[in-house]
Amino acid sequence: MLKQLTLVALATTAFAQTQDLNATLTSTPELSNLTTYLGMFPDILTTLSGVSNITILAPNNDAFGKLLASPIGSQLASNPALIQSVLTYHVLNGTYTSNQITDDVAFIPTLLTDPAYANVTGGQRVGVETEDDNVIIYSGLLQNSTVTQADVQFTGGVVHIIDTVLTLPANASTTAIAANLTALAGALTTANLVSAVDTARDITVFAPTNAAFEAIGSVLANATTQQLTDVLTYHVVNGTVAYSTTLQPGEQTVTTLNGGQLTIRVQDDGDVFVNGARVVLTDVLIANGVVHVIDNVLNPANATAAPPTGDNADDTGSVQFGGASSGNVPFTAGIPSPTGTIGGGNLSSGNATPTAGTQPSSGAMANTVISGGLMGIAIGLGGVVLGL
């Protein structure tokens, strides 16, 4: 929850005496690399210097050092559009001082509007929260950056210096591969839905784990392309980006891409179920919305399914296809198999449920990381997708 700035704080003498953005950055030695990159795009610097009420997340020199040492680092010099997207993703639309950021996650819009990374209304988001008195910024692939120096005032807002360059959110299919949701990625390819899901604007995807697909292997082995399409489109909500912060206790019904209804239930203890499937990871930012990972494949013919009851009912969801039996993980032939993990558990093995120590402190994403490369990924379906 963001605390409100008081008018008194906005009117302090200290604020009135601050420097403009260019002077603030150039007078900070640990931001010399950022200053160099901004110098490559004078229009951006001019625009930022002329606006007010913004927050700059400024990667320090060590952050740029990590970026340039990564596989993608060598591609920056030849891709100015990519650099420009990275820079604008580090600018928040609004002034947010560190005392406004709490241990309840908030999703804040940035100035990144390039549809390749921000096919969402109002600009691409970052997640912000505090953890152990540190301000943490979450970006694509749930990569996190820590604020090393907060509240450097300038005339247009505030600068927070961070230790890692933010990761640009990739499209849904690329993110699925990086997150080891390879059965989902392969199923989208089999059903010819990659383009439709990757290019739709403002979506929420409930993404089953590989173990979830494996559990209904007998059903999928006999499914037609149309049946598979019906199942997959039942996992996508179009026109709504439902971050975890928008989910209220109780039940909510949403309409999916195939026209069917999903019931989202937020339990008293904060556990979230979609029909009878449990959400095991929330708020993976993608270019066109958000992904929540679930532990079972949803069944459009079983829309009334509810969470399981009885002992340990909150630990896992229930299989949504009656009579299904498990088999090999389907649809993965030809799909890259990254070694990424989420919350300390490998999704391909089905061990995705957060445990003590990895359960997000805010119920959203603290301590949860997808490991898919230092600054991003360069894999995709049908082409190369660059992310930072």
Taking residue 243's Cβ as centre, other Cβ atoms within 10 Å add up to 19
Quote the Cα angle for 337-338-340, to 5°: 135
Domain 21-162: state its class: mainly beta
pLDDT digits over 78-116, tens only? 888 898 999 999 999 999 999 999 999 999 999 999 999
In 221-286, DSSP assigns E strands to: 236-238, 250-255, 261-266, 272-274, 277-286
Give the 3-state secondary structure percentages of the chain, helix then strand then coil, rounded to 5: 30, 20, 50
9-36 tens-digit pLDDT: 444 434 446 799 999 999 999 999 999 9
Tokens of 91: 């600018």
Angle at which helices 61-69 and 32-39 cross, to 10°: 70
- Both tokens of 57, joined, read 């997340």
Q: How far apart are CA 290 and CA 124, in angstroms?
A: 10
* Packing angle of the helix pair 42-50, 32-39 (nearest 10 deg): 110
Tell me the average pLDDT across 379-383: 34
And the tokens for 108?
């804040």
Is the pLDDT score of 151 beyond 80? yes
Q: Is the pLDDT of residue 171 over 50?
A: yes
* Location of structure tokens 């952050």: 63
Mean pLDDT in residue range 126-152: 96
pLDDT at 372: 41
* pLDDT above 60 for 269: yes
* 359 pLDDT above the threshold of 60: no
Question: Which of the listed ranges 35-44, 81-90, 182-191 does the model predict with the highest average pLDDT?
Answer: 182-191
Tell me: pLDDT of 117 over 50.
Answer: yes
How much is the pLDDT for 80? 87
The pLDDT value given to residue 312: 60
Given a cut of 90, whether residue 371 has pLDDT beyond it is: no
Integer Cα distance of 249 and 347 in angstroms? 27
Instruction: Provide Rg for the chain, Cα atoms.
Output: 21
Q: What beta strand segments (E) does the chain contain?
A: 54-59, 91-93, 106-109, 125-131, 134-138, 144-154, 157-162, 203-208, 236-238, 250-255, 261-266, 272-274, 277-286, 289-294
The whole-number average pLDDT for the span 51-71 is 93
Is pLDDT of 72 > 90? no
Q: Is the pLDDT of residue 185 over 80?
A: yes
pLDDT at 75: 77
Mean of all residue pLDDT scores within the chain: 84
Query: Range(s) for CATH 2.30.180.10 in the chain?
Result: 21-162, 172-294
More confident position, 14 or 47:
47
Reported as half-sphere exposure (CB side, CA atoms, 13 A), residue 288 has a value of 21
Q: What is the DSSP string of 106-134?
A: EEEEBS---TTT--STTS-EEEEEEETTE
pLDDT of residue 296: 98
**What's the CATH number of domain 172-294, 3.30.43.10, 3.40.30.10, 1.10.540.10, 2.30.180.10?**
2.30.180.10
Least confident of 150-164, 291-305, 365-379: 365-379
Within 10 angstroms of residue 95's Cβ, the number of other Cβ atoms is 16
pTM of the model: 0.85
Give the DSSP per-residue string, 68-84: HHSTTGGGSTT-HHHHH
How many of the other CB atoms lie within 10 Å of CB of 343?
A: 23
Residues in the chain: 388
Q: State yes or no: pLDDT of 386 exceeds 80.
A: no
Q: In what order do the strands lie in the sheet with 203-208?
A: 236-238, 203-208, 289-294, 277-286, 272-274, 261-266, 250-255
